[in-house]
Structure 1
Amino acid sequence: ARKGGVPVIASIFASSAEEFAQISRNLDADALELNLSCPHAEKYGSELGRYPDLVESVTGAVKAASSVPVWVKLTPNTADILELGLAAQRGGADAVVAINTLKAMAIDIETGYPILGNRFGGLSGRAIKPVAVRAVYDLASRLEIPVIGVGGISSWEDAVEMIMAGASAIQVGTALLQGYGVFEEITSGLSAYLGRKSITLEELCGMAGRCS
């Protein structure tokens, strides 16, 4: 990754604050993204990232163990994602990333068995974009740290909407199935839009919040 000549952001996950810290100490990265939305310790029975106190403690442990920026990826599978974002901020996060995948399921109607071996999985792509936009809007309106928007972005129009909601940056995942050209399509389309509207990216960021 270093040979590419671009910033390297490492996504990491573990089962405890101590393990997160240990992993972070052994990575040569420009930033760390903490994936707190995978199944974790049995005592919590679900995802570590659903618990504000654990989000705060993991974030704090990684910040103490590493000298690079730390981003915390937040799960939408919660009653209040803002509560999780505030916990990450208290832990010292440099930014939050919203959102991770939505818990979902698919069943083979011929056999009656769940299609995934673990029964449940993460839903991504276009279907979750409205959920992601709402989460980014809520977080950006209250947090003092940047919000990075992700979830269903596959066009420059999607990027504009996410930035208007308050995203300081965006991520593209599922849309890569279209090929790497999606990056150029989004950046060129966004640039043309800004020129047509005669506004800057900074003015676009959070516009929906200022208009409401």
Structure 2
Amino acid sequence: MKLETVIAGVTFQNPVMTASGTFGSGMEYSEFVDLNRLGAVVTKGVANVPWPGNPTPRVAEVYGGMLNAIGLQNPGIDVFMQRDIPFLKQYDTKIIVNVCGKTVEDYVEVVERLGEESAVAMLEINVSCPNVKEGAIAFGQNADALYHITSEIKRHAKQPVMMKLSPNVTDITEMAKAAEAAGADALSLINTITGMKIDVHSRKFAIANKTGGMSGPAIKPIAVRMVYQTAKAVKIPIVGMGGIANGEDAVEFLLAGASAVSVGAMNFVNPSATMEVLEGIESYMKQYHVENVTELIGAVKE
């Protein structure tokens, strides 16, 4: 069986990746997962300067998943380049770096720094960050803002650029088309869905930020629908994510049109989730006599 998949000219040994923010930069999971077996490690978001993140509590369990408002806490690009990149270079897996920022200039600064590192195969751009210059609306919730930031990043990037789309929009295809028109090489979706939880006994918000991003199995049907719609609307490849817990979940995303998948919240429940998803895809391929995983991409029967 052939498990290789190609996205924006980059060949991945298999279609299983880690979702940004759920796997650190690989170091934290290396005793549970053989990183050499992953298609790619997608790192936690990296900014141009250290971010402290949001006040606590920042995580709350909900039916079928979790809410988080970590606030993209990260040590900044300097520490990342000195510590995390050298660690990941030890492994036979592709490195995709997730980039965050508060202004277009912030993003560009990180993108230019990463352009110096040939081991980085691709950039994933987190456009769910609030644009502080535009009244804190997320870059990914306005098609014009998304087009602008994508085109600016493309002007400076040495690696292929994958824009991570927010589901918190009226029409995901409008955002996908804007990113494609601006030169994006690939798309990843979905990011978390905005949610809220209130403790009825204390009558307080479960998360200090009041709202948080919901992830986990409960959001999978929404994610599959958005991947399917996006695959129909654009010609660039898609990495699908949102509630993937096993191999069949991953295959569902592939059939909807994704070229690869990322495993997120399930890493917190089961540190070996990525390996089980990979083995589940292999089992499915054996069961249905699929010789090449690419045969599954967009193969849902209309």
Report the TM-score, using the length of structure 1 for normalisation.
0.94
Superposed CA RMSD in Å reads: 1.4
* Residue in structure 2 matched with residue 17 of structure 1 by the alignment: 104
Give the length in aligned residue pairs. Answer: 210
1:29-178 equivalent positions in 2, closer than 5 A? 29-41=120-132, 43-178=134-269
Q: Secondary structure at the match of 2:94?
A: coil
Offset at 1:3?
2.3
Which structure ranks higher in relative contact order (CA pairs < 8 Å, sequence separation ≥ 6)? 2
Q: Residue deviations 1:113-144, cap 9 Å, x none?
A: 21211111100010110010000000011211
Are 2:142 and 1:26 aligned? no
* Residue in structure 1 matched with residue 64 of structure 2 by the alignment: none
Letter of the 2:177 partner, please give it.
L
Larger helix percent: 1
Are 2:293 and 1:206 aligned? no
For 2:156 and 2:133, locate their aligned partners in 1 and report how far apart those are by CA, in whole Å: 25
For 1:85 and 1:63, locate their aligned partners in 2 and report how far apart those are by CA, in whole Å: 15
Offset at 1:16?
2.2
Structure 1 gap ranges (5+): none
Q: Residue deviations 1:149-182, cap 9 Å, x none?
A: 0000010010111111001000001111233322
Larger strand percent: 2
C-alpha contact (below 8 Å) 1:94/1:145 kept by paired residues? yes
For 1:111 and 1:71, locate their aligned partners in 2 and report how far apart those are by CA, in whole Å: 42
Letter of the 1:132 partner, please give it.
A
Letter of the 1:205 partner, please give it.
I
C-alpha contact (below 8 Å) 2:139/2:149 kept by paired residues? no
Letter of the 2:94 partner, please give it.
P
Q: Residue deviations 1:22-57, cap 9 Å, x none?
A: 111112322110001133326344322101111111
For 2:111 and 2:212, locate their aligned partners in 1 and report how far apart those are by CA, in whole Å: 26
